[in-house]
Amino acid sequence: MRVVVGISGASGAIYGVRLLQELKNTGVEVALVITGHGKEILGMETDIPLTNIEELADVVYSDDDLTAPPASGSYLFDGMVICPCSMSSFSKIATGISDSLITRAAAVCLKEKRKLILVPREAPLSTIYLRNMLVLAEAGAVVLPPSPAFYHRPRTFDDLVNFVIGKVMDSLGVEHQLFRRWGTE
């Protein structure tokens, strides 16, 4: 399986890192794109050097490189996850603006009917964001806000992050052990 992972400039950079770690553990091939603001927030919210984060991927492309393979529908990949996804990138995708590699690869997913999973982080949500969420859900994207559940009795910060990334892995169709499922011991 080959997946494009995008990290854009929303709070919750740790979700993107955790996703990359989990995809590496499960042997999924990953092409990574991080926006400029995404890199800035990774630096603010984590102590992990950017090079270590990029090493989790098989290949890294620059967000301003619109000649990179994921910009084309002829490059075969199974799906894309943008995690976290800023409202700016989210809104661009909802309106068809493709002026960066992240937004273009997402547009490719929609037109080619490939899986697109968006993890938008903002609160509260304006009517503009809510409308854009409906637009993208209707276009076939999975809109997966990072809202952990509490029925599995999370004890640590990691438990909360793992729950969200487990839901992303479920949407991708990749097996994981990130949380205990309801109805299991």
Ligand X SMILES: Cc1cc2nc3c(=O)[nH]c(=O)nc-3n(C[C@H](O)[C@H](O)[C@H](O)COP(=O)(O)O)c2cc1C
Nearer to ligand X, 27 or 123 (CB): 123
Round to whole Å and give the CA distance between 166 and 9.
Answer: 21
Shortest Cβ 85–ligand X spacing (Å): 7
With 0-12 / 13-18 / 19 or more C-beta atoms within 10 angstroms meaning exposed / middle / buried, residue 80 is buried
Among 3, 8, 13, 172, binds ligand X (CB under 6 A): 8
- Taking CB under 6 A as the binding criterion, the range among 37-45, 51-59, 142-150, 165-173 that sits at the site for ligand X is 37-45
Among 16, 22, 38, 81, binds ligand X (CB under 6 A): 38
User: Per CB under 6 A, does 86 bind ligand X?
Assistant: yes
Contact 70, 101 (CB under 8 A): yes
Among 30, 87, 133, 142, binds ligand X (CB under 6 A): 87
With 0-12 / 13-18 / 19 or more C-beta atoms within 10 angstroms meaning exposed / middle / buried, residue 88 is middle
Nearer to ligand X, 59 or 125 (CB): 125
Shortest Cβ 86–ligand X spacing (Å): 4
Contact 93, 15 (CB under 8 A): no
User: Per CB under 6 A, does 9 bind ligand X?
Assistant: yes
- Taking CB under 6 A as the binding criterion, the range among 68-76, 86-94, 108-116, 175-183 that sits at the site for ligand X is 86-94
Evaluated on CA atoms 128, 40, 160, 29, the torsion sign reads: positive
Nearer to ligand X, 123 or 138 (CB): 123
With 0-12 / 13-18 / 19 or more C-beta atoms within 10 angstroms meaning exposed / middle / buried, residue 135 is middle
Round to whole Å and give the CA distance between 134 and 175.
Answer: 28
Binding interface with ligand X (CB under 6 A): 8-11, 35, 37-38, 41, 44, 86-89, 121-122
